[in-house]
Amino acid sequence: AQSVTQLDSQVPVFEEAPVELRCNYSSSVSVYLFWYVQYPNQGLQLLLKYLSGSTLVKGINGFEAEFNKSQTSFHLRKPSVHISDTAEYFCAVSDPGGGADGLTFGKGTHLIIQP
Amino acid sequence: GAVVSQHPSWVICKSGTSVKIECRSLDFQATTMFWYRQFPKQSLMLMATSNEGSKATYEQGVEKDKFLINHASLTLSTLTVTSAHPEDSSFYICSASPGGFVFNYGYTFGSGTRLTVV
């Protein structure tokens, strides 16, 4: 069984400051890792994903994440946040079963950007 | 590419009635679609995996007679909440992927349906 832990339920950050949203996972098999963003009353938008290869993954809107196998982590970072980044962020894992399995989500981190 | 359309975006129904939610893949064929439920300020929980042409696979604790899933074509899956009660009020989101999804699009999500049962 897989599980995802997002250590922070809420992260307040000042505008233009850097931010890191933490994500740790546990799995007995190799996994695919994802970060999604959700704006109020909307679905999820994929920010980035790690499948294999380079452990540093760059996504949309200036976000990036680094896969650390030894620490089973996949933390999301952005060097300078904007008010528009205020949203809920979800880390998720998938068994690399070729699309046959759903995602296991963390509980989410609410990123609050303060002016 | 890889757009998933979900309809309706919100619905209010009376207790005891049934509600159908549609999930369509607009520009790709999806042999597998997923249905999630999200309670306010909480994460998404996988309810069931919908497979085209076969029965859906439900997660433990999800009542298959309450949440009927039909995946009649490669572009459409429907979730019907039968005999809805106030405790079924939630945000329902579908997800789909094209073949070889992971290497291009990941899982694509619909915009969600806010169900309120009164």
Residue B99 has a pLDDT of 58
Q: What percent of chain B has pLDDT over 90?
A: 68
How crowded is residue A88: how many other Cβ atoms within 10 Å of its Cβ? 20
Q: How many CB pairs (< 8 A) connect A and B?
A: 63
pLDDT over 90 at B32, yes or no: no
pLDDT of residue B105: 59
CB-CB under 8 Å, B32 with A100: yes
Q: Give the nearest chain A residue to B101 (CA atoms).
A: A99
Instruction: Note whether A24 and A5 are within 8 A (CB).
Output: yes
Do B49 and A106 contact (CB within 8 A), yes or no? no
Nearest to B2 by CA among B95, B114, B72: B95
Q: Among A22-26, A62-66, A103-107, B30-34, which stretch is predicted with the lowest mean pLDDT?
A: B30-34
Q: Is the pLDDT of residue A96 over 80?
A: no
Closest CA to B77 of B35, B47, B37, B106: B35
Alpha-carbon distance A29 to A58, whole Å? 24
pLDDT digits (tens, 9 = 90+) for B65-115: 999 999 888 899 999 999 999 999 999 999 987 655 555 557 889 999 999
Mean pLDDT of chain B: 89
Residue A44: which of B99, B102, B109 has the nearest Cβ?
Answer: B109
Is the pLDDT assigned to residue A15 strictly greater than 70? Answer: yes
Mean pLDDT score across all residues of chain A: 91
pLDDT (average), residues A55-81: 96
Q: What pLDDT was estimated at residue A12?
A: 97
- Per-residue pLDDT at B1: 65
